[in-house]
Amino acid sequence: MYALIDCNNFYASCERVFRPDLNGRPIVVLSNNDGCVIARSNEAKDLGIPMGAPAFEYQELFDKQNVLVFSANFPLYGDMSNRVMAILSEYSPEVEIYSIDECFLKLDGFGMFDLWEYGLQMRAKVLKSTGIPVSVGFAPTKALAKLANRIAKKFPDRTKGVYNMATSELRDKALKWLKIEDVWGIGRRHALRLNARGVKSAFDFTQLNDEWIKKNMAIVGLRLKRDLCGIRTLDLEETKSKKNIATTRSFSNNIVDFEQLRERVSSYAVSCSEKLRKQKSCCKELSIFILTNRHRADQAQYSRSIRIKLPFATNSSIEITKYAIVALKRIFRSGYGYKKAGVIVGDFVPEEAEQLSLFTDKNPRHSALMHALDNMNKKYGKNTVRLSVQEKRMWKMRQEKLSPHYTTDLNDIITIRV
């Protein structure tokens, strides 16, 4: 069996942990730049605020309904996630942390356990230790565990937040209940195509013939079908080392100017380099992309990306920025208003396994320099020391409703009046 444990309305719940006065009130959390809604409390969902809603379109509703709005506070959510995952990892030796708010447990050899009771224990422990409510679903495969979790979340009164899909009768009943567009792995495009073919439920999907699925949804669709039929196909992913690291941002205004775009891209390259050094890796390739505002049909559109191989593995901000600018020059076209850009590094090798190369101009002194730079920025604050090609004044994200970093910054720890 597998379990899927999922934090309810995770970001909204994190905000609530330190603000119990917000219980029962509608809360939304916004993306970077306070752009769109990325998390909602149940009360906010009941007001009809959809996931991904642009904040400016819903401002009026927020005001009228007294919706509490928060800017995304990722240091807080990341820290709370670590706490939740640490607790859940005690419930099975085989764990896959699937996302910031979800994890799979593999429960082979748990046949003697009353899983529903086991789930209730997890739930209670996480709630008591962190203040975060979770839902738990048990089933024979991962795709079905996702479904079981959905049932637990949808019917909290009947399930107490824990559902065990123990028999094939329960499985078929659940598959018939689940709408095709809500199946894990079926996105908007496939849902449309399937609906047009009369496939309305997950059960209908499991009745399709393999050839059609292979042709229209490739191998991914076939795997999903098997998993939904109860045949173990998707297994726990190994504790995955990342294959890519990205820093990408939308700009609040269009950028026309090459120099301005270069400043931004340089900052993103430096940020990727810092992330690389943090996980003690070097990269051997680098991609960058730039694109115009796709929401503006009246403006000329252009989007392009490029990937380049580096002559040696590196995590030096100086080297990575240098190549990012080389790449940018190759895809930049003047005459467009750019809205977004990003740097992605990949093809990693461990820092200590760096290949020494005779014929490249890798500077061996960079690693000491980067070390010093990281230390200064750690001590005196982010971006205290930076490359001259980066922005003169760091461009600030819009974060008008940011909550304190309750658990990751000593200055933000809550005070309790006695």
Partner DNA sequence: TCTGGGGTCCTAGGACCC
| Contact positions vs DNA (CB under 7 A) | 31-33, 35-36, 38, 52, 54, 56, 98-102, 146, 183-191, 218-220, 240, 242-250, 252-254, 275, 293, 295-296, 303-309, 339-340, 342, 344
Residue 45 or 340: the one with the smaller Cβ distance to DNA is 340
Residue 76 or 186: the one with the smaller Cβ distance to DNA is 186
Spatial distance between the Cα atoms of 26 and 69, rounded to a whole number of angstroms: 9
Residue 100 or 387: the one with the smaller Cβ distance to DNA is 100
Residue 25 or 200: the one with the smaller Cβ distance to DNA is 200
Residue 91 or 348: the one with the smaller Cβ distance to DNA is 348
Q: Least distance (Å) from DNA to the CB of residue 38? A: 5
What single-letter amino acid sits at 70?
Answer: F
Q: Collapse the DSSP code of 257 into the 3-class scheme (helix H, G, I; strand E, B; otherwise coil) and give the result.
A: coil
What single-letter amino acid sits at 411?
Answer: N
The H or E element spanning position 274 is helix 258-278
Q: Least distance (Å) from DNA to the CB of residue 119? A: 19
Q: Least distance (Å) from DNA to the CB of residue 169? A: 25
Q: Least distance (Å) from DNA to the CB of residue 230? A: 19
Task: Name the DSSP letter for residue 168.
Answer: H
Both structure tokens of 259: 């120099």
Q: E-assigned strands of 58-145?
A: 68-71, 94-99, 102-106, 134-139
Both structure tokens of 106: 């593999």
Residue 152 or 344: the one with the smaller Cβ distance to DNA is 344
Cβ neighbours of residue 408 closer than 8 Å, sequence gap 6 or more: 75, 76, 78, 79
Residue in 268, 332, 282, 284 with CA at minimum distance from that of residue 305:
332
Spatial distance between the Cα atoms of 373 and 278, rounded to a whole number of angstroms: 13
Q: Least distance (Å) from DNA to the CB of residue 81? A: 10
Q: Least distance (Å) from DNA to the CB of residue 286? A: 11
